Structure 1
Amino acid sequence: MEQFLTTLQNLTFIQYATFIPLFLIIYFIPTILAYFFNKQNLKIIAIANVPAGFSMLIWFALIIFSITGNASDKLLKKLKLKNNETKQA
């Protein structure tokens, strides 16, 4: 940890200008993915993303939730349609 802090202290302005946006993009990947895949839960994921970034386990769980939100809804709709078709036949 000390080596990381020392490295951060020795960065130049250009390196900071590159590091900070990249860090924020990586930190907020669950929110970015939710914007594209799970808009109905975007606010919840964005709020949960702030403290979740400190815990890798919760951060990965948020990534999975942000990607599978609409996929699970679509899968449930398909299953309901298939069940209705088999009942009608």
Structure 2
Amino acid sequence: MDTINQFIVAFTEAWQQADLLFLLGFGLLFLAVWFLPSLLALAFNRQHAGKIALLNIPAGFSWIAWVALLVWAVTGKLSNKLAAKARLKPVV
């Protein structure tokens, strides 16, 4: 219990000593990681980027849902590429 209290005191002191630039950088990094599936969806899967962005807000509270969105954002058009290689009709 004493170790937890020491950690909380050290964390509180470090947070109070943080300057505005650090807090701004931390906030931007936090948001970039939170919305990483949305950012990747814009790069890889423009068809479902709106759906991924909408689901990204509550999914950030669950690591499982966040990772699932991350996989969806990266592999969104993979099925169409595989279907083209196999000469099959693309999945819509």
Asked whether 1:15 is paired with 2:46, we answer no
Where do 1:69-80 residues align within 5 Å? 69-79=76-86
In structure 1, distance between residues paired with 2:57 and 2:16? 24
TM-score normalised by structure 2 residue count: 0.76
TM-score normalised by structure 1 residue count: 0.79
Instruction: Report sequence identity in percent.
Output: 38
Stretches of structure 1 lacking an aligned partner (at least 5 in a row): 84-89
Q: Which has the higher helix share?
A: 1
Correspondence for 1:59 among 66, 72, 86: 66
Higher RCO (CA 8 Å, separation ≥ 6 residues)? 1
Deviation at 1:62, TM superposition (A): 0.3
After TM superposition, where is structure 1 displaced by more than 2 Å over at least 4 residues in a row? 2-11
Stretches of structure 2 lacking an aligned partner (at least 5 in a row): 1-6
Relative to structure 1, is the Cα distance of residues 65 and 23 closer, same or farther in structure 2, using a 3 angstrom cutoff? same
